[in-house]
Chain A
Amino acid sequence: MLRFAGTILSNGKARIGAAILGLFLLIGIFAPLLSPYDPNANDFAGGEGASAAHWLGTTAAGEDVLSQLLHGAQVSLLVGLVAGGLSTVVAVLIGLSWGYLRGFTAEAINFVVNLFLVIPGLPLMIVLAAYLQGGGLIMIIAVVVITGWAWGARVLRSQTQSLRSRDFVTAAVFSGERPSRIVFREILPNMLSLIVGSFFGAATAAILAESGLSYLGLGDTSTISWGTMLFWAQNSNALLTGQWALLFAPGLCIALLATSLTLINFGVDGISNPRLREGKDAR
């Protein structure tokens, strides 16, 4: 495990990514301590610009923007990690069996995955969000997982198909190993980079999906997340009143968090594929 982390961090980009992610994790965990005010407290003057008391100003409803931003990290991280993790698990289970198996089962899986792939994602999310109304964060996570796993499964299946015709798999088949063992012991470790990569990809997609849904007003507008901050900012004409921080800061945080995950992915790629490592290992 440590060796894994070491390999990842030997990559310069991944180090930067990990640093950013770590910072956000710390912010998320210690948000209650770091925040100058209760993020729900709305007894300040509304629509104020930046000041010593409110570094990023206040919202139209009189909440402290900085406190909301710090607390918002919790929701985005939670949605990203949980929804990304769950959809990766589903994608791995389905993608690998799909890629390895032949015949009717494969066709059946193909059928199901295709169904999920062909139904347009964002509209499906909107319909689901309307259906699972009022479920709060769990609803958002459920929607993201339902709409998000199929893509990963498809990518993993392609790679599994490629791998299963390799010599080491053929050898395992001839030595009489059980299919589940071949898939999860022989093939899976060879795809670790792709899986971890697809986890970070799914987490990024989940964070962006949460912000998109919340921005459209379809999330739980009473929780504080970066997406709902954008929703309220847009609602209170932050662009027109010149309250930049309201719109700019949450968007930048979303982008930074998503970038950090992508950057870590550069290091992850080096785990199972030394070719992707940087520095003296490479070439």
Chain B
Amino acid sequence: MAPSRILRRAALAAVAALALSSCAIQLQSRPDPTVGDDTMLIGADTGAPFFEENFNPYLGTKRIGVNYLFEPLLLVDPISGQEHDWLAESTEVPDPSTIVFDLRDGVTWSDGEPFTEDDVAFTFDLLQQVPAFDGTGIWSYIDSYETGDGTVTVHLKEPDVPARVIIGGVVIVPEHQWADVENPDSFRNTDPIGTGPYTLGNFTPQQYSMDKNHDYWQADEVAAEHLILPAANSDLDVVTKGYDWAFKYMSNVEGTWLAASDTNSYFFPPGGTIALFPNHTREPFDDVRVRQALSLALDRRSIADLAAEGYMDPASMSGLLLPNQEEDLDPSLPDQGFVEQDRDRALELLAEAGWTLQGDRLVDESGQQLAFTITTANGYADWLRAVQEVERQFEAIGIDVSVDQPQPAGHTLAQRNGDFDLIVSSFGGTGTVYQDFNNNLSGEFFVPEGEETGNNFGRYRNDEVDAILREYRVTTDETRLRELAWELENVFYDDVPVIGMYYGGSWGLFSDRKFTGWPSEEDRYSPITYMPSALLVLTSLERVRQEGDD
């Protein structure tokens, strides 16, 4: 190509772009007409940039489609917290150390073989033999198990009622296929056999399709005949190519996703709490008054608005995700546990802790200014926006704040090692109150700074909390469980082990063009595409009947 042509084109493009900069181009959704009305286009699995064929559900590099192929014994919806019996028809806890899964009758594998307790036993054994597969650590709870007559009875090492959702959450694979696999840890399972609503259709490196399993045990509930999962799911793709379901944070969702089509909708329920974790082994964060003061110094509304463009709410200091977990909220907590900014009170508390305001600097007796670093991960735009606002708000009460932004891996490392003053991270979102609190506050996970831990990285230790958590593990009574949850919430509210800022969203984008019944404000359940809870979505939808349909 001659440079003059390039030049002319460049000039033309520049002029065109300049002209266009004054008038906005609104991209419209233009679905591919060759995709049928019974076919769902899902933005769930993103290639890097191509797909590697891997349908082993226990590998971190698995294709997202495994969640529509394989099923667990029971499902917990991370948004509603509701437990759903799945491959187990019911789950009994005769005593806090025993769990009995009563398996569903009439379930078959997609190749026609019946699903039995032997498959469950095989799966449990597999996870024990290949620890790399045991991502939720079920063998840290299981002592032994026995099978018989359509049931699987698990004996725990110690009483732990909440462990049932962890053990029951493991997806089950068929013994008759997997028993012959020589190296399961590098098995790619390119010809998967599952119990789920879909089977693998056509696989190419740029997209794969899945077809409805007509012998599925609840085939009547499954509306879409085919699923298509493309490898390229940029925001531009999702908006312009007529996706039916995508999980994606889309900035300015009204101006983009909603504006592209009348039938588009979105549902962004809280999926976790984005919080500042103080390092409890460092001064002055070991002082509850300082933690309370920092919490009171924050205007959470403005932080939430900046970080998530107003789509997410400020976090309640009950430690719960609201309104998802409203039922578990202690009604005596003032204002549902939301803490309003109160700089005067914050300064009073700091004064009690020995920090007084001199001019615009908060200093101790020796004149040293209160200074600390907030660590956040580079490239996480919403966290950074939040931290920038927090920095402004802390500096307004005389604190010298600096921000450290390592790459995500460095951030994870700092978090695990306890190498931080205050670190931004998220907690909660498992769907169960116990797990949310236990992971973050349990003294069992306490290690000193420098040693690694993946839970309770704030290094919090509180005997009261540990006692409540211990009781939680042996309690089956609903009322008592609720009281225990309230006690945890109150400790969280008063002792401020973690300073919650705002809720991180669970970003569901939907189109009603072909299917309805998506998660919504009225029907709150998880819009997540990449976890077994997606089975709930796929079995809740109905087809939109169009003219010409029978």
| Same assembly | yes
Mind listing 16 A-B residue pairs with CB under 8 Å?
Answer: A60-B309, A61-B309, A130-B409, A133-B407, A134-B405, A217-B378, A217-B379, A221-B381, A235-B251, A240-B27, A240-B235, A240-B252, A241-B251, A244-B21, A244-B22, A244-B24
Whether B384 and A133, one on each chain, are in contact in the complex, defined by CB atoms closer than 8 angstroms, is no
Report Cα–Cα, A220/B381, bound state, in Å: 12
Report Cα–Cα, A61/B236, bound state, in Å: 20
What are the interface flags for B353-387 relative to A under an 8 Å C-beta threshold, 1 for contact and 0 otherwise? 00000000000000000000000001101001100
Closest 9 CB pairs of A and B: A242-B24, A244-B21, A217-B379, A236-B251, A241-B255, A240-B256, A133-B406, A130-B407, A237-B251
**Does A47 sit within 8 A of B, measured CB to CB?**
yes
Whether B255 and A240, one on each chain, are in contact in the complex, defined by CB atoms closer than 8 angstroms, is yes
**Does B48 sit within 8 A of A, measured CB to CB?**
no
**Does B25 sit within 8 A of A, measured CB to CB?**
yes
Q: Which residue on chain A has the smallest CB distance to residue B255?
A: A241
Report Cα–Cα, A46/B403, bound state, in Å: 24
Contacts of A130 in B (CB 8 A): 406-407, 409-410
What are the interface flags for B383-413 relative to A under an 8 Å C-beta threshold, 1 for contact and 0 otherwise? 0110010000000000000011111011000
Report Cα–Cα, A221/B403, bound state, in Å: 11
Contacts of B17 in A (CB 8 A): 244, 248
- The interface on chain B, measured as residues whose beta carbon lies within 8 A of the other chain's beta carbons, has a size of 33
**Does A121 sit within 8 A of B, measured CB to CB?**
no
**Does A42 sit within 8 A of B, measured CB to CB?**
yes
Whether A241 and B24, one on each chain, are in contact in the complex, defined by CB atoms closer than 8 angstroms, is yes
Whether A236 and B252, one on each chain, are in contact in the complex, defined by CB atoms closer than 8 angstroms, is yes
Question: Of residues 396 to 443 in B, which have CB atoms within 8 Å of A's CB atoms?
Answer: 403-407, 409-410
Q: Knowing A46-B309, A217-B379 are in contact, say whether A133-B410 is a contact too (CB < 8 A).
A: yes
**Does B6 sit within 8 A of A, measured CB to CB?**
no
Whether A240 and B236, one on each chain, are in contact in the complex, defined by CB atoms closer than 8 angstroms, is yes
Whether B255 and A232, one on each chain, are in contact in the complex, defined by CB atoms closer than 8 angstroms, is no
What are the interface flags for A235-258 relative to B under an 8 Å C-beta threshold, 1 for contact and 0 otherwise? 111011111110010000000000
Whether A218 and B378, one on each chain, are in contact in the complex, defined by CB atoms closer than 8 angstroms, is yes
**Does A175 sit within 8 A of B, measured CB to CB?**
no
Report Cα–Cα, A221/B236, bound state, in Å: 23
Whether A237 and B235, one on each chain, are in contact in the complex, defined by CB atoms closer than 8 angstroms, is yes
**Does A49 sit within 8 A of B, measured CB to CB?**
yes
Contacts of A236 in B (CB 8 A): 251-252, 309
Specify which of A60, A217, A222, A232 is in contact with B403 (CB 8 Å cutoff): A222
CB of A283, distance to nearest CB on chain B (Å): 24
Report Cα–Cα, A171/B236, bound state, in Å: 66
Report Cα–Cα, A236/B307, bound state, in Å: 11
Specify which of B22, B252, B404, B409 is in contact with A60 (CB 8 Å cutoff): B252
Q: Is the interface of A mostly helix, strand, loop or mixed?
A: loop
Q: Knowing A50-B22, A240-B235 are in contact, say whether A133-B405 is a contact too (CB < 8 A).
A: yes
CB of A267, distance to nearest CB on chain B (Å): 22
* A→B interface (CB under 8 Å): 42, 46-47, 49-50, 60-62, 130, 133-134, 217-218, 220-222, 232, 235-237, 239-245, 248
Q: Which residue on chain B has the smallest CB distance to residue A217?
A: B379
Report Cα–Cα, A258/B460, bound state, in Å: 52
Whether A232 and B24, one on each chain, are in contact in the complex, defined by CB atoms closer than 8 angstroms, is no
Report Cα–Cα, A232/B27, bound state, in Å: 20
Specify which of B22, B385, B405, B410 is in contact with A61 (CB 8 Å cutoff): B385
Report Cα–Cα, A56/B536, bound state, in Å: 45
Whether B384 and A221, one on each chain, are in contact in the complex, defined by CB atoms closer than 8 angstroms, is yes
Contacts of A60 in B (CB 8 A): 251-252, 309
Contacts of B25 in A (CB 8 A): 242
Q: Which residue on chain A has the smallest CB distance to residue B381?
A: A235
* B→A interface (CB under 8 Å): 17-18, 20-27, 235-236, 239, 250-252, 255-256, 306, 309, 378-379, 381, 384-385, 388, 403-407, 409-410
Contacts of A241 in B (CB 8 A): 24, 251-252, 255-256
Specify which of A47, A133, A218 is in contact with B252 (CB 8 Å cutoff): A47
Q: Knowing A134-B404, A241-B252, A244-B21 are in contact, say whether A222-B378 is a contact too (CB < 8 A).
A: no
Contacts of B306 in A (CB 8 A): 42, 61-62
Q: Which residue on chain B has the smallest CB distance to residue A221?
A: B384
CB of B304, distance to nearest CB on chain A (Å): 13
Report Cα–Cα, A62/B388, bound state, in Å: 14
Report Cα–Cα, A147/B18, bound state, in Å: 35
CB of A265, distance to nearest CB on chain B (Å): 18
Contacts of A217 in B (CB 8 A): 378-379, 381
Whether B384 and A222, one on each chain, are in contact in the complex, defined by CB atoms closer than 8 angstroms, is yes
Contacts of A222 in B (CB 8 A): 384, 388, 403, 405
Specify which of B22, B250, B381, B405 is in contact with A232 (CB 8 Å cutoff): B381
Report Cα–Cα, A30/B224, bound state, in Å: 61
Report Cα–Cα, A130/B411, bound state, in Å: 11
Whether A133 and B404, one on each chain, are in contact in the complex, defined by CB atoms closer than 8 angstroms, is yes
CB of B257, distance to nearest CB on chain A (Å): 9
Q: Which residue on chain A has the smallest CB distance to residue B25?
A: A242
CB of A139, distance to nearest CB on chain B (Å): 11
Contacts of B21 in A (CB 8 A): 244-245, 248
Report Cα–Cα, A220/B309, bound state, in Å: 21
- In addition to A130-B410, A244-B24, 14 A-B residue pairs with Cβ atoms within 8 Å of each other are A133-B404, A133-B406, A133-B410, A134-B405, A221-B378, A221-B384, A222-B388, A222-B405, A235-B251, A237-B250, A237-B252, A240-B255, A242-B25, A242-B26
Report Cα–Cα, A207/B325, bound state, in Å: 50
CB of B143, distance to nearest CB on chain A (Å): 44
Report Cα–Cα, A130/B250, bound state, in Å: 27
Report Cα–Cα, A248/B18, bound state, in Å: 8
Report Cα–Cα, A50/B18, bound state, in Å: 13
Contacts of A62 in B (CB 8 A): 306
Whether B239 and A221, one on each chain, are in contact in the complex, defined by CB atoms closer than 8 angstroms, is no
Q: Which residue on chain A has the smallest CB distance to residue B384?
A: A221
Report Cα–Cα, A101/B306, bound state, in Å: 59
Q: Knowing A134-B406, A236-B251, A236-B252 are in contact, say whether A49-B24 is a contact too (CB < 8 A).
A: yes
Report Cα–Cα, A133/B408, bound state, in Å: 11
Contacts of B405 in A (CB 8 A): 133-134, 220-222
Report Cα–Cα, A235/B256, bound state, in Å: 13
Report Cα–Cα, A221/B404, bound state, in Å: 11
Contacts of A232 in B (CB 8 A): 381
Q: Which residue on chain B has the smallest CB distance to residue A242?
A: B24
Q: Which residue on chain B has the smallest CB distance to residue A127?
A: B407
CB of A277, distance to nearest CB on chain B (Å): 24
Whether A218 and B24, one on each chain, are in contact in the complex, defined by CB atoms closer than 8 angstroms, is no
CB of B97, distance to nearest CB on chain A (Å): 47
Q: Knowing A222-B384, A222-B403 are in contact, say whether A133-B378 is a contact too (CB < 8 A).
A: yes
Report Cα–Cα, A236/B407, bound state, in Å: 20
Q: Which residue on chain A has the smallest CB distance to residue B239?
A: A240
Contacts of B256 in A (CB 8 A): 237, 240-241
